[in-house]
Amino acid sequence: MANTTAPITLPAKAHILVIKLAGIGDGLLTMPAIRALRESYPDARIDLLTRHIPAQVFRGWEELNDLIIINPRPQNTGPGRAFTLTQRLLLLYKLLKKLRAERYDAVLLFHHLLPLHRRLIFQILLLVTGARWRVGLDNGYGWFLNVKVQDDGFGSRHEAEHYLAVAEAISATTPNKRLAIALTDAERQQAYAIVHGVQKPGAIPGPIIAMHPGCSILSTARRWPPQRFAQLADTLYHGFGGQLLLLGGPDEAPLREEVIRLMNSAMAVRSLSGQESIRITAAIIELCDLFIGNDSGLMHLATAVDTPTVAIFGLTNHQAWGPYTGSIPGKAAVVRLDLPCMPCYFRGHDIGTPEGCATRDCLTQLQVAPVAATARTMLLATHKFLMH
């Protein structure tokens, strides 16, 4: 079949598979494109192949017919147990067999074609489906695609816009480019109990501010120093009062405790356990007046629940991975330096250096003042808080 870059149109009742094998934030960024598919093909069957953790943010989302998990968790095993090699091969065989049996009309790949081992995985997944249309970004390695969207590299447009461009290649568009997560009443009630506990709402005057001083273990170099988070919390407390919730995974508990130890103000502060599910964490952030954090999945959760967001960026390409609000102004801001070496992670057609350089000047030289100024602007824009 000849390759094409022109948009195609699928049958009204097409069977479509979307592939996105990444983390929480990356999963959320596919939502505008998947919404475009549903709005443009309301009678289609749309399935998503993803990983176990990001699948949680899609639960209850009506745009999808089925979630296919590429790495289900082992059942009936103790802590720390994992699949054996034999079990993994059997799971892979069953997955490929299922993908083949579904007889998809089109498969949309929401990934850049790098590095080599990832390209090989994508080639196998797309070709084994036998789908007539194989759609994705092409950076010169997309020989297995027959509907190609030119990939001009990381930062040429936001990643969410890359995925929207892939959807547009099959004539799917949407005016609503917001991220979303379908929280239940029970999840919101559980989050309310965690945030407010037994105290009455408003018992502590001022805003509820959430901070995430951590980030994915895939690139811990993205972390702004913990002493800066502590200084930022003190600064905002002196200006607005309020309370602080420190968020993150269980492995980041020592980092959160370090922030608390370094704080000098009387700000009420709690470090959550990190045992909360992704969805409960999203519901907690939804109750907050402001979220401040590094480049992470929680940053994207904050925009998905419409909480004003201040994102701290260093080595990562903010043009590609910054908070995405669907072009709605005033809901999110990136604070970063502008050094000649930035970004060094996700630059052009290269992944770059996830751990950055030895000195990480892009973050160590970023002072509290510009972050505090941006946070102050966001809080004042809500018209609820006055400076002390």
Measured from the Cβ of residue 52, the count of other Cβ atoms closer than 10 Å reads 12
Ranges of beta strands (E only) in 289-344 are 290-294, 309-312, 332-335
pLDDT at 89: 84
CA 282, 372, 265, 365 dihedral sign is positive
The full set of domains in the chain, from first to last, is 15-168 (3.40.50.2000), 185-381 (3.40.50.2000)
Q: How far apart are CA 382 and CA 388, in angstroms?
A: 16
pLDDT at 78: 46
Quick one: which of 315, 329, 324, 321 has its CA closest to 362? 315
Band of pLDDT at residue 79, cut at 50, 70 and 90: very low
pLDDT at 75: 54
Q: How far apart are CA 20 and CA 47, in angstroms?
A: 11
Any bridge partners for residue 211, and if so which? 246, 292
Alpha helices per DSSP H over 66-179: 85-101, 116-129, 159-168
pLDDT at 84: 84
**Tokens of residue 201, six digits:** 């709402």
Q: How far is CA 84 from CA 73, 89, 294, in A?
A: 12, 9, 35
**Does the structure show a pLDDT above 80 at 40?**
yes
Say if residues 156 and 144 touch (Cβ distance below 8 Å).
no
Say if residues 38 and 19 touch (Cβ distance below 8 Å).
no
Q: How far apart are CA 312 and CA 321, in angstroms?
A: 11
pLDDT at 85: 81
pLDDT at 387: 67
Band of pLDDT at residue 218, cut at 50, 70 and 90: confident
**Does the structure show a pLDDT above 60 at 190?**
yes
Quick one: which of 240, 268, 287 has its CA closest to 385? 240
pLDDT at 81: 60
This prediction's pTM:
0.93
**Does the structure show a pLDDT above 70 at 224?**
yes
Averaged pLDDT score across all residues of the chain? 92
Q: What does R_g of the chain's alpha carbons equal in angstroms? A: 22
Q: How far apart are CA 302 and CA 292, in angstroms?
A: 9
User: pLDDT tens digits, residue range 8-27?
Assistant: 999 999 999 999 999 999 99
